[in-house]
Amino acid sequence: MRIGLLTESGYPYVTGEARLWCDRLVRGLEVYEFDIFALSRSAHQEDQGWVELPPQVHRVRTAPLWTAEGEPGELSRRGRKRFRTHFADLAAAVCGDGERQADRFSSALRGLVELARDEGPLTGALRSESAVRELERACRAPGARRAAHHARVPDLLAVADLIERTLRPLSLDWYEEVEGGLGAVDLCHATSGGSAALPGLVAKQLHGVPLLVTEYGVQLRAHYLGADTEALSAPARSLLAAFQGRLAAEVYREAEVITPGNTHVRRWQEKCGADRDKLRTVYPGMADERFAVVGEFATLGEEAAADAGTLVWVGRIEPAKDLVGLLHAFAEVRKEAPGTRLRLIGTPAEGDEAAAYLAQCRALAAQLFPDEAEGAHAVGDNPVSFEEIGGPEIPELADAYAAGDVVVMSSVVEGFPVGLVEAMLCGRATVSTDVGAVVEAIGGTGLVVPPRNPRALADACLALLGDPTRRWRLGAAARARALELFTVEQNIAAFHSIYLEIVSHCPVHREAYDADGEPLLFAHPAETHVPGRPTAAGAGGRWLAAAGGGRSEGPSWADADAEAAVDGPSDAQQEPALVISAAVAHGAPADREQALAVGSGPAPGEPER
């Protein structure tokens, strides 16, 4: 099976999002072949190069989204007319409300896909004066959003520019049905929504390739919180949010399966229109080996190699982590337990904003906590220390979590709390704020308090600092929970099963050729060309469903939506055996071999036979 892995600002580049879990996924699924289609976000990211790729990665194709202009392309007179029609519908759908507008957006996007296939890149058209005029006309039309009416020409220019960058994958040359193109893969796996999933939509429309979408952070939420739109006006941000929302709904509607990384992401996806029947929560896989020594040592009940009464915070220093609130909470802790210390351990600050925030936190710590000395002849020391991973005292990340008795997380904004799971793997008792997926990750193995509440944070820390037995029990339970839910093995096993399920339900039908390049007669059984889907239960009905009945006239996004509603996830465990028996019964050599290959694949965790 060949998987087309669609990434944005991540794998296979050394820096970027979703890099680690994509690398672990590809290395863990050795039985599959991978073609990587990567979108880059900056020149710096491209200059950093790629990670070392495993042998199952056959080729990598990249395209930049950060350049000011892509290949402009020239449309014919008829092409320009088609573009105005489709872009006018897209703009009207973005500026309007209602279910009808969602269908209009979908139709416009499909039209742009076909236009790009027939005429070439749409970069010049999407940046043209015609596009801006259509966007302005949609903003001034009756029934448009209130914010759209206040958009001015500079706002429209900025919105048109960002829409072009998002839709740039439509103009790429990735969609041929030859080796190395998305038309030749068996499954597209998008590692995020938005631009990364667009090539999957195109491959599904043109070649019927099924689409799997994985999100550990919702693109629409990232748009609301992102710094890229801070300089824009309120009308421009509103239009871009509406566009991202329409695009997210379209991606979710056309995906065969959607795998959110946690319940927090799942709720966002449902609000954006994702069908609950398509959602399968797959937690991210953490490399637990690096924390094994610290975690096992902590769960044995031995005292940690740290001073008694030490709080530890580990993470990236930025305003969303609310270190100012943590320092005020620590001031309350010191009133009740004067000998307590706080160690703030972070990665080196990157960027002017992070450096300024670190300086602010250092100044606040110096103001709240004067240096203390044991006697008149001793050098004073501050109870709050700012440290970095990689130094003599904390050479590794696991050493940072082992440096204290209680790990604290004080964030006001959080997606999936990776640092919290790392502390759980180290067997540490934790105090966290109730943001993002914290409650889902921690379960009942740690204390959770409201965000922006230093008094509650201080009380929880004092409760654990004063009870060593409770700390040990919570730490042991946290490690057991993390090993059960958040390991690389469970993540790989889940995607291995989902890959087989999707391909068995939605196989891609391609013409088969012999060694001389001539069409191979009778390569597909006759029942695969019967229109419609069977309603009777039984092995034969499920075989026809797996064989893809009703796709002989060419795949469409609406048909895939209906098929996803018919094919529920409850048949996933029975499907491979049914496919094998039906394929052998019908005696089609090519499909029999393919069915046997699907049904006899190694189970998760077993070697390939």
| Cα distance between residue 80 and residue 345, in whole Å | 57
Question: How crowded is residue 95: how many other Cβ atoms within 10 Å of its Cβ?
Answer: 26
- Checking phi first, is residue 325 left (phi over 0); if not, alpha (psi -120 to 50) or beta? alpha
Q: Are 313 and 461 in contact (CB under 8 A)?
A: no
Is 288-486 in CATH node 2.60.40.10?
Answer: no
Query: What's the rounded Cα separation, in Å, for the pair 183 and 609?
Result: 29
- Say how far apart CA 362 and CA 141 lie, in whole Å: 53
- Give the residue from 367, 398, 402 showing the smallest Cα distance to 384: 367
In degrees, to the nearest 5, what angle opens at C-alpha 369 toward C-alphas 368 and 373?
A: 160
Alpha-carbon dihedral angle through residues 519, 36, 196, 559, given to the nearest 10 degrees: 30
DSSP string of 442-456, one letter each residue: HTTSSEEE-TT-HHH
**Overall size of the chain counted in residues:** 609
Which of 345, 346, 339 has the alpha carbon at shortest distance from 383? 339
User: Cα(201)–Cα(166) distance, rounded to whole angstroms?
Assistant: 13
Answer for the pair 221, 196: CB distance below 8 angstroms, yes or no: no
The answer to whether the beta carbons of residues 223 and 244 sit under 8 Å apart is yes
**Is 438 exposed, middle or buried (CB count within 10 Å of its CB: 0-12, 13-18, 19+)?**
buried
Domain ranges of the chain: 1-67+173-284, 71-165, 288-486, 509-599
SS3 sequence of 180-211: CCHHHCCEEEECCCHHHHHHHHHHHHHHCCCE
Q: Is the peptide bond before 525 cis (omega within 30 degrees of 0)?
A: no
CATH (one of 3.90.1150.10, 3.40.50.2000, 3.30.70.260, 1.10.15.40) for 1-67+173-284? 3.40.50.2000
Cβ(89)–Cβ(144) below 8 Å: no
Blockwise average pLDDT, block size 10, the chain, 609 residues: 92 84 93 94 87 94 79 81 96 87 93 94 91 94 88 92 92 89 94 92 95 86 65 88 92 96 90 92 90 82 57 93 96 93 86 87 93 67 90 89 94 90 95 94 95 96 94 94 94 95 87 71 58 44 36 42 42 40 40 41 43
Q: Check for a shared fold between 1-67+173-284 and 288-486.
A: yes
Amino acid at 450: P
Which of 475, 434, 477 lies closest to 453, judged by CA? 434
Half-sphere exposure of 217 (CA within 13 A, CB side): 16
- Best CA proximity match to 139, nearest among 126, 164, 160, 156: 156
DSSP string over 518-548: -B-TT-S-GGGG--S---S-SHHHHHHHHHT
DSSP string computed for 308-340 = SSEEEEEE--SGGG-HHHHHHHHHHHHHH-TT-
| Integer angstrom CA distances of residue 599 from 211, 578, 602 | 21, 9, 9
pLDDT for 379: 64
CA distance 191 to 12: 12
Pick from 501, 504, 543: nearest CA to 525: 543
| Calpha distance 264→246 (Å, rounded) | 20
Distance from C-alpha of 477 to C-alpha of 499, rounded to nearest angstrom:
32
Tell me what pLDDT residue 382 has.
86
| 408 neighbors 431 (Cβ within 8 angstroms) | yes
